[in-house]
Amino acid sequence: MSREAYQVPSMGAQTAFDTQGGYGSAMNVDSPSVVYLCGECSARVPLKRGDQIRCKDCGHRVLYKERTKRMVQFQAR
Amino acid sequence: MPGSVHSQDQDQSMMDAEQQVEQVPQEVTLDEKQIVVLPGATETAASFQFEGEGHTMGNALRYAIMKNPAVEFCGYTIPHPSDPKMNVRIQTTDSTTALEALEKGFNDLMDLCDVVTEKFTAARDQFNEESGNRMEA
Amino acid sequence: MAPLVPSQEELQRRRIIGINPETVTNIPSTDFPGHWPGESHEWALDTFKNGFQVEFHRNDRFESSFSLIGLDAAVANAFRRILMAEIPTIAIEDCFIHNNTSVIQDEVLASRLGLIPLKGSVEGINWMHWVKKESDDEPGSGACDFNTIVLRLDVECYKNEYADKDEQDPRKLYTNAHVYAKDLMFHPVGRQEDFFVGDGAIAPVNPDILIAKLRPGQKIEMELHCVKGIGADHAKFSPVATASYRLLPDIKIERPIIGEDARKFAKCFPKGVIGLEPVTAAEAARSGSGYEGHAGEQKAVVKDAFKDTVSRECLRYDEFQGKVKLGRVRDHFIFNVESTGQFESDVLFLEAVKVLKFKCARWKRGLTDLMA
């Protein structure tokens, strides 16, 4: 796909991060949630698309991705 | 006569060319490792290339071969440090061949190893016995 | 014509490598045919057998010290090099990391694990084969019971509920805060169950090697495959911590060192190398000995050159100038072999000799093909 052909996914006029809009959250119900880790309290934070990026326990705004579930192979050298 | 000198020269160079045709490296497979006789070898003077060997074998073998009175010259080299190859050069008198000198070198080195093992084991057993006795006393 | 036989003094002189304040002399071996006119020096097994001696100084399980006397440096060095680089041992080679949430990175953790010395039944280790590495042209041999040993490392750190409220030590505050080599678990497969049983089980030599530190919620889960390898490939496969030799030091006091000078002379050497003895009446009476009129005074004598480090300190002082000659004995190798724990140190040396012989035999076999 060429660079010009790519279309930034958008939900109408709203941005993906906008949680104010009514139908935005309605759409989020069936979108999959991804678990993140809080940078402050290490709590597991499941987020869906459009959710506010914020820890539900402590309100910290830095979240990290979880480590891959895949096996990683290394040579002991 | 100048003409005859000339023709001899030509003869000489012809012989060289013939020799070079024969001197295609001979290869011997040995657990994937090979001994190669490098080009330019004659009966009494040859360079052998050992793959996967280094100073360990090279210097010990050089010593064993130099102990042979029929050997005029023996030396080893590792032509390039990142190539796992070791060359041994042997030049002998007419009484033997380079190949025989090399084989004798291996034989002598193996005999040496047997003596070292034998004497080492004896000395160790004696030492263990004596120190065991001392501990008991 | 019978070959000339050099005098005992001459042979003794040839055995000593001279050590001067800034230089060394008489370095290369000269015991080759053709070097000394009229002398033989041909290889003779009997001559070697008569001249070769082994003396043991120490023989602990994992550290031994012994002298090989009457050997050329080329051969002694071959043994030392083989000890370090060509005796096969078992070490962790492949790490399959299922989970690692600790702060130590996967690749760093893997390389740390590789360096842990392992022990196990010697019989079992000798039974094991090499694993053939997969290359572009050929597939590898794959992991089998006779070439791969499986270890597992599964640890998770969590809070210790019973810890004291004011406890500061993380090892008491949490369980598994430190991951040690003893946490590596051996999982025998196939015939390994017959070889590596009881005391012969594969385990780290030192159980207290720190591998990683964890905090509650962090977890390490991995499978480790150990294979046979040699030190030339990677240092983790080297069976020795140190394998070294030094030449026996030689100290000759050529002119008397007496009184205060003798005490100063003794201080130039490690303890026990130089002793002090009173000059006897007989020595003092002999004219030209240098002891005249010194009866009863202390003179320096060489007690045990073995302990010397050859620091050359005594060569720095004017008062000893020309009175002492330092050297090393060319064919007296004091070996020190310290095993990492997989094999016993004396067995390692015998193994090195065996490897050299085996290499000779292998190349010789290739030679017969060359002759045909």
Minimal C-alpha gap between C348 and chain B (Å): 12
Residues 18-77 of chain B whose Cβ lies under 8 A from any Cβ of chain C = 26, 28-31, 33-35, 37, 50, 53-57, 59-60, 62-64, 66-69, 71
Answer whether C360 sits within 8 Å of B62, measured CB to CB.
no
Q: What is the pLDDT of residues B6-45, one digit of tens each?
A: 444 444 444 444 343 333 344 333 355 678 999 999 999 9
* Chain B residues with beta carbon closer than 8 angstroms to that of C54: 116, 119-120, 122-124
Segment C163-185 mean pLDDT: 94
Q: Is A60 exposed, middle or buried (0-12, 13-18, 19+ CB in 10 A)?
A: middle
Dist. CA B28–CA C315, nearest whole Å: 56
Q: Give how far Cα B37 sits from Cα of B99, C230, C332, Å.
A: 10, 28, 36
Q: Give how far Cα C136 sits from Cα of B32, B83, C133, C140, C364, Å.
A: 16, 20, 10, 10, 31
Could you tell me if residue B70 is inside a domain?
A: yes
Residues 20-39 of chain C whose Cβ lies under 8 A from any Cβ of chain B = 29, 31-34
Domains contained in chain B, number: 1
Helix (H, G, I), strand (E, B) or coil at B121: helix
Neighbour count for residue C287 (Cβ, 10 Å): 8
DSSP per-residue codes, B16-78? HHHHHHH-SPEEEEETTEEEEEPTT--SSEEEEEEET--HHHHHHHHHHHHT-TTEEEEEEE-
Residue of C nearest to A42 (CA): C217
C94: phi then psi, degrees, rounded to nearest 5:
-115, 135
Residue C277: its pLDDT value, please?
94
By residue range, what is the domain housing residue B126? 24-136
Could you tell me if residue B18 is inside a domain?
A: no
Q: Give how far Cα C51 sits from Cα of A55, B31, B116, B120, C215, Å.
A: 81, 36, 11, 14, 63
Domains, chain A = 32-65 (2.20.28.30)
Minimal C-alpha gap between B4 and chain C (Å): 39
Could you tell me if residue B104 is inside a domain?
A: yes
Q: Do chains A and B touch (3 or more CB pairs under 8 A)?
A: no
Calculate ∠ Cα C273-C278-C282, nearest 5°.
125
Residue C256: its pLDDT value, please?
94
Q: Give how far Cα C276 sits from Cα of B57, C152, C289, C293, Å.
A: 46, 62, 17, 18
Residue C287: its pLDDT value, please?
84
pTM: 0.85
Quick one: angle between helices C345-371 and C73-85, nearest 10?
110
Dist. CA B93–CA C156, nearest whole Å: 73
**Structure tokens that stand for B130 in this block:** 């004596």
Helix (H) or strand (E) segment spanning residue C244:
strand C240-253
Could you tell me if residue B12 is inside a domain?
A: no
**Hey, of C344, C357, C358, C365, which one would you mutate to test binding to chain B, going by the most B CBs within 10 A of its CB?**
C357
Could you tell me if residue B33 is inside a domain?
A: yes
pLDDT exceeds cutoff 70 at C296: yes
Could you tell me if residue B8 is inside a domain?
A: no
Residue B117: its pLDDT value, please?
97
Looking at every residue in chain A, the average pLDDT score rounds to: 77
Residues 112-141 of chain C whose Cβ lies under 8 A from any Cβ of chain A = 113-115
Could you tell me if residue B37 is inside a domain?
A: yes
Q: For the stretch C117-139, what's the b/e string if a residue is b when 16 or more beta carbons lie within 10 angstroms of its beta carbon?
A: bbbbbeebbeebeebeeeeeeee
Could you tell me if residue B79 is inside a domain?
A: yes
* Chain B residues with beta carbon closer than 8 angstroms to that of C56: 123-124, 126-127
Can you name the residues that pair with B87 across neighbouring β-strands? B49, B77
Q: Is B66 exposed, middle or buried (0-12, 13-18, 19+ CB in 10 A)?
A: buried
pLDDT exceeds cutoff 90 at C132: no
pLDDT exceeds cutoff 70 at A50: yes
| CATH number of the domain bearing residue B75 | 3.30.1360.10
Answer whether B116 sits within 8 Å of C41, measured CB to CB.
no
Which positions of chain B have pLDDT values less than 70?
Answer: 1-33, 135-137
Neighbours of chain C (3+ CB pairs under 8 A): A, B
pLDDT interval class at C80 (50, 70, 90): very high
Looking at the complex, does the CB of residue C231 fall below 8 Å from at least one CB of chain A?
no
Residue C73: its pLDDT value, please?
96
C232: phi then psi, degrees, rounded to nearest 5:
-65, -30
pLDDT interval class at C372 (50, 70, 90): low
Domains, chain C = 89-238 (2.170.120.12), 255-322 (3.30.1360.10)
Q: What is the pLDDT of residues A11-27, one digit of tens each?
A: 544 444 444 444 444 45
Q: What is the pLDDT of residues C25-45, one digit of tens each?
A: 999 999 999 999 999 999 999
ipTM of the complex: 0.91
* Chain B residues with beta carbon closer than 8 angstroms to that of C353: 113, 116-117, 120
* Chain B residues with beta carbon closer than 8 angstroms to that of C42: 67-69
Contact B86, B60 (CB under 8 A): no
Residue A5: its pLDDT value, please?
67
**Structure tokens that stand for B5 in this block:** 């000198």
Answer whether C353 sits within 8 Å of B108, measured CB to CB.
no
Residue C295: its pLDDT value, please?
87
Residue C316 is given by DSSP the state: G
Dist. CA C19–CA C328, nearest whole Å: 7
Taking alpha carbons only, the member of B8, B36, B42, B45 closest to residue B22 is: B42
Residue A6: its pLDDT value, please?
66
Answer whether C93 sits within 8 Å of A73, measured CB to CB.
no
